[in-house]
Chains A and B, each alone.
Chain A
């Protein structure tokens, strides 16, 4: 099973600040890495697919990069509505796995 480790687990950020969340895979997964956002009491939403492809309708301040084992989700100029938990997920091999999540709080 491929283990995804996100860092940090928690981040408290002021509006307009830049946020960087990393996801490290226990083995190479190419670009089969996707990012989701889950706000409190809501279902997850797809943000980025295949490491760097923005999903339709996602604000341009969200971007993804990386390949192999190291991936990054960047939120440029954080807005209050971005308070959420962010998860990475791999689709390189079954069982598909999620990272443990990174909670982003607005100061």
Chain B
């Protein structure tokens, strides 16, 4: 079964850091682009970042550029999102999604930035 499972969310103070993980299974992880998408409480979907299959090319939303870093470990079938200098407006459910099409999504992990 194709599956993505996010982890690493939690409560963090403004200015703090958090690293999210997305464990992939049931497919050849190393051949797919991967994305992070977030959704603030009661709000819509926002694309955050993307990484190519080999990890050599990345893109970011302007709102996170310079603060967030996407990476991957193809040997461990895992996608990461390092989040630094967190702000209240980063509070959201963070989803990982597979491929250019975003054809498979995880269930998400919740990040709350609050003092």
Contact = CB atoms under 8 A, between A and B. Distances in A.
B67 interface: no
Interface string A58-76: 0000000000000000000
Nearest to A95: B61
A81 interface: no
A38 B45 contact: yes
Interface residues of B, number: 20
B8 to A, nearest CB: 17
Contacts of B95: 43-44
Interface string A28-59: 00000010101000011110010000010000
Nearest to B107: A43
Most central of A55, A89, A96 by chain B CB within 10 Å: A96
Contact of B50 (A34, A55, A96, A97): A96
A41 to B, nearest CB: 10
Most chain A CB within a 10 A radius of its CB, from B95, B100, B101? B101
A46 B103 contact: yes
Contacts of B45: 36, 38, 44, 87, 89, 98, 101
Most B CB within 10 A of own CB, among A1, A44, A85, A99: A44
Given A1-B62, A43-B95, A44-B95, A96 B103 contact: no
Interface of A: 1, 34, 36, 38, 43-46, 49, 55, 85, 87, 89, 91, 94-101
Interface of B: 37, 44-47, 50, 59-62, 95, 97, 100-103, 105-108
11 contacts: A34-B102, A38-B45, A43-B105, A44-B37, A44-B102, A85-B44, A95-B61, A96-B47, A96-B50, A100-B44, A101-B45
